[in-house]
Amino acid sequence: MMKSRIAAVDVGNDSIKAIFGEFDNELNIPNIVARDTEDRPVIGIEELDTKNPLDGIHIRVHSPALKENNVIYRVGNLATKSDNATELDPGSSKSEEDQTLVMLFATLALDAVQEGNDKLFPRNKNVIDANYTLGTGLPLREVKEGKDAGYRSKLAGSVHQVEFLVTPKYQGLKVNIKFDEVKVYPEGFAAYINLVMDNNLKIINKDLIDKRILIQDIGGLSTDIAVIKNRNVDDDKAQGFNLGVAEALEQIREEIRSKHGVELDSRTDVVEIITRKNDRNHIMVKGSRTSVHDITDRILLELAKKQYRLLRNVWAKNSQTEICYFVGGGATVLKEYIKTLNNNLDGYNIEFFEDEKESIWMMANAYYKLIMDYVKKLEKSSKAASDPVKS
Tens digits of residue pLDDT in 363-373? 899 999 999 98
Answer yes or no: is pLDDT of 63 > 80: yes
CA distances from 364 to 26, 90, 340, 371, 377 (A): 10, 22, 29, 11, 20
SS (H, E, C) 197-266: ECCCCCECCHHHHCCCEEEEEECCCCEEEEEEECCEECCCCCEEECCCCHHHHHHHHHHHHHHHCCCCCC
Residue 319 lies in a domain: yes
Q: Assign 90 to helix, strand or coil.
A: coil
Together in a domain, 92 and 183: yes
Q: In terms of residue numbers, what domain contains 106?
A: 5-188
In this structure, are residues 177 and 61 in contact, taking their beta carbons and an 8 Å threshold? Answer: no
- Residue 127 placed within a domain: yes
Look at residue 343 and tell me whether its pLDDT is greater than 70. yes
Question: Do the domain assignments include residue 317?
Answer: yes
Q: Is the pLDDT confidence value at 57 over 50?
A: yes
Residue 14: the pLDDT is 82
Task: Work out how many domains the chain is built from and give that number.
Answer: 2
Q: Which of 30-44, 290-304, 311-325 has the lowest mean pLDDT?
A: 30-44
Shared domain for 224 and 106, answered yes or no, is no
State the amino acid at position 121 in one-letter form: F
Whether residue 264 is found in the same domain as residue 139: no
Q: How high is the mean pLDDT of the chain?
A: 88
Q: Average of pLDDT values for 221-236? A: 82
Query: Has residue 204 been placed in a domain?
Result: no
Higher pLDDT, 59 or 1: 59
CATH of the domain at 230: 3.30.420.40
Residue 176 and residue 227 in one domain = no
Tell me whether residue 351 is in a domain: yes
pLDDT exceeds 50 at position 316:
yes
pLDDT digits (tens, 9 = 90+) for 83-117: 888 877 776 788 999 999 999 999 999 999 998 89
Residue 293 covered by a domain: yes
- Taking residues 139-166, report their average pLDDT: 92
Contact 174, 165 (CB under 8 A): no
* Residue 244 in domain: yes
pLDDT per residue as tens digits for the range 30-47: 999 999 887 776 655 556
pLDDT higher than threshold 70 for residue 388: no
Are residue 253 and residue 328 in the same domain, yes or no?
A: yes
69, pLDDT greater than 70: yes
Which residue, 36, 82, 81, 42, is CA-closest to 59?
Answer: 36
pLDDT 10s digits, 239-282? 888 888 989 999 999 999 999 999 988 888 898 899 888 888 99
Q: Does residue 108 lie within any of the structural domains?
A: yes
pLDDT attached to residue 259: 94
Q: Report pLDDT for 387.
A: 67
Query: Within this chain, do residues 44 and 92 fall inside the same structural domain, yes or no?
Result: yes
Q: In this structure, are 45 and 145 located in the same domain?
A: yes
Q: Are residues 90 and 164 in the same domain?
A: yes
215 and 266 part of one domain: yes
Does the structure show a pLDDT above 80 at 17? yes
Q: Are 299 and 337 in contact (CB under 8 A)?
A: no
pLDDT tens-digit series, residues 157-193? 899 999 999 999 999 999 999 999 999 998 777 778 8
- The whole-number pLDDT of residue 4 equals 93
Comparing 61 with 89, which gets the higher pLDDT?
61
Q: Are residues 256 and 163 in the same domain?
A: no
Give percent above pLDDT 70 in the chain: 95
pLDDT of residue 391: 40
Whether residue 50 sits in one domain with residue 109: yes
CB atoms within 10 A of CB 235: 14
Query: Are 223 and 152 in the same domain?
Result: no
Instruction: In whole angstroms, give the CA distance from residue 144 to residue 235.
Output: 8
> How far is it, in rounded angstroms, from Cα 110 to Cα 81?
20
